[in-house]
Amino acid sequence: MKQSHRSRRTRLAWLAIPAAAGLLLAGCSNSGTSSAKEPQTITFAFGATNDQDKAAYTNLTQAFEKENKGVTVTPLNLPTQSYPTALATRVQGGNAPDTFYAEGGTGQVDSIIPFAKAGQLLELTDRAIKSALPSDQKQLWTYNGKIYGVPLGTQSNGVIYNDELAKSIGVNITASTSLDDIIAQCSAARAKGKTIYGLAGSTYQNNGILAIALATSTVYGPNKNWNADRAKNKVTFTGTKGWTTALESIKKMYDAGCFQDGATSAGFDALTNGASSGKILGFFAPSGAAQQIMVAAGGHVKLIALPVAAPSGTKTYLSLSADQSVAASAKTKSPKLAESFLKYIVSDAGQQTYSAATGTIPVNVGRSSTLLPQYEGIKDMISSNDTRGYAPTDWPNAKIYTDLGNGVQGILTGQMTVKQVLEQMDTDWG
C-alpha cells in the first residue's frame, strides 16, 4: 500500500507508501522573450514517486505531442522529497522549467498563488482554460482575476476501503453510514482480529487528512465559506463547534478501538503491514491511492473510495480537492506552446488521459458517467454536489495543518486537549 506523491503538499506526503513501485531540478527553461518564432520544445517538471506516476505524466506529454505534430514536451522527473523547495528556489530565481507541477492555492512552498503574486508565472488567457476550471475551486489558480494554473484532476479525501473483506466479517459501511454506526461496529471487527481503520498516528499528515475530512462535514458543510470568514476574523477555530466536534470524534474512534493497537506511535509501515495482512479494512488517503494499490496487487484486491462519515445528525459531505496542478514560468521562451500544453491538460482528452492512469476524477465532476468503478459508492454525492473543497488549500500557511495533525496525536495520547489544539491553530493563522 502506498500513497501517490503526485501531490507533494504535506497532507499527501505520507502516501508514498511503497506498494506499487518505488522516485534537483534538472533541465530548466531559457529565460527571457524573443521576437523570433518561439521554440517548439518545452520542459515539464514533476516529482513522481514510482513508475506509475511517471507514466501518468509522460502519457500527458506524449498525447499532447500526438495532437500537435512538430512540438516536443520533455518530461523531467525530479527528486520527490526535495521537489517543493527546489522548485520554489528555481521559480524565484527566474530559471524554472517551462511548465511544472505545483500546488493550487496557498500555504505550501510550491503553491501557485504566491508565485503568481510575485509575477513569476505565465498568465493563461485562453477562454477554454477559464471555462474548464471547476467553478467552486477557481481560487486555487486565480489571482486578481487572472489565471495562472490548471488542475491535473480531482480526488476525494477520505477512506480507501476493502469492502469485500469488511463484508466477509460482517462489517457494513457505505457512504451513508454515520460515524456513530461505524464506531458501533469497531468492537465486532476487533473480535474478528481486525480493525476498521488504520492510522499512522505518529505522522501529522495522516492525522491531518482524517481531521480535515471530518471537518468537511462538521465545519464546511454548514458554512462552505468558513475560511473566508476566518480570514475576516468573523470566526475562529476555538469558537466553531464543528472543529471541536471533529477532533472529539477522532478521540471517540480511538477509545472505541476503531484504530489498530499502537496507532498513536504508528508510522506508515503499520498501514502497509496492516493492509497487506488483512488486519485493517481501510485507511485515510486521497482516492487515487486506491488505483495505485489495485494495480500493484495485480487485480487481487478490490478497493473503493468512501467519505469519512459525519456523526449522527450531521450531513456527510465528501472532501474533494483539485489542487494537484500545473503552471508555467513567466520566463519561458515558448509562452504559446506552454499555454497550449496546459490547455490540453485541462481539456476533456487530457483529463481522461491522466485519470485513466492515476485513478483520479476528471475536474468536471458532473461527468459522473466517466468515474472509475472505485467511485461507485460516492457517485451520488458527486453528482448531487454534496462536496466541499480541501480546506487547507486556502489557509495562509502550512503550520496550521502541521499543528492540527500533531495536535491529533496529542489528543489521543492525552498530552493535549482539543481546546489547546484549536488555540494553537488560531495562533498559527495570525
- Please give the average per-residue pLDDT across 142-166, as a whole number: 96
CA atoms in the 13 A half-sphere facing the CB of 43: 21
Residues 6+ apart with CB under 8 A from 293: 1, 2, 19, 20, 160, 275, 301, 303
Give the architecture (CATH level 2) of 156-320+379-429. 3-Layer(aba) Sandwich (3.40)
Give the separation between CA 225 and CA 96, rounded to whole angstroms: 34
First to last CA, the chain: 37
**Predicted confidence band at 269 (pLDDT cuts at 50, 70, 90)?**
confident
Cβ–Cβ under 8 Å, residues 104 and 372: no
Q: Tell me the three cell numbers of residue 279.
A: 488486519
Q: What amino acid is encoded at 10 in this protein?
A: T
Give me the chain's average pLDDT, please: 89
Cβ–Cβ under 8 Å, residues 95 and 28: yes
Mean pLDDT is lowest, of 19-28, 61-70, 159-168, 379-388, for: 19-28
- Please give the average per-residue pLDDT across 176-194, as a whole number: 98
Q: Return the axis-axis angle of helices 241-255 and 179-191, rounded to nearest 10°.
A: 10
Position 16 pLDDT exceeds 90: no
Mean pLDDT is lowest, of 22-36, 71-85, 389-403, for: 22-36
What pLDDT is attached to residue 65? 98
What pLDDT is attached to residue 366? 57
Count how many residues are written for the chain.
Answer: 430
User: pLDDT exceeding 70 applies to what percent of the chain?
Assistant: 90
The residue to which cell 518530461 is assigned = 75
Which 8-state DSSP code applies to residue 300? S
Model confidence over 51-93: pLDDT tens digits? 888 999 999 999 999 999 999 999 999 988 789 999 999 999 9
Torsional sign, CA 148, 150, 154, 157: negative
Model confidence over 203-236: pLDDT tens digits? 999 999 999 999 999 999 999 999 999 999 999 9
Where do you find CATH 3.40.190.10 in the chain?
10-153+323-364, 156-320+379-429
What pLDDT is attached to residue 383? 87
Q: Which whole-number Å values give the CA distances from 32 to 67, 94, 96, 335, in the listed order?
A: 27, 9, 12, 11
Q: Which residues of 207-226 are buried (b: 16+ CB within 10 A; e: fewer)?
A: bbbbbbbbbbbbbbbeebeb
Model confidence over 329-350: pLDDT tens digits? 999 999 999 999 999 999 999 9
Q: Which whole-number Å values give the CA distances from 269 to 82, 205, 265, in the listed order?
A: 22, 14, 11
Which 8-state DSSP code applies to residue 389? E
Model confidence over 274-316: pLDDT tens digits? 888 899 999 999 998 888 888 878 878 899 999 999 999 999 9
Position 392 pLDDT exceeds 60: yes
DSSP, collapsed to helix, strand or coil, labels residue 298 as: coil
Position 30 pLDDT exceeds 70: no
- Please give the average per-residue pLDDT across 163-176, as a whole number: 98
**Predicted confidence band at 157 (pLDDT cuts at 50, 70, 90)?**
very high
Q: Residue 46: which of 324, 386, 402, 353 has the closest Cα?
A: 324
What pLDDT is attached to residue 202? 95
- Please give the average per-residue pLDDT across 16-40, as a whole number: 45
CATH 3.40.190.10, applies to 10-153+323-364: yes
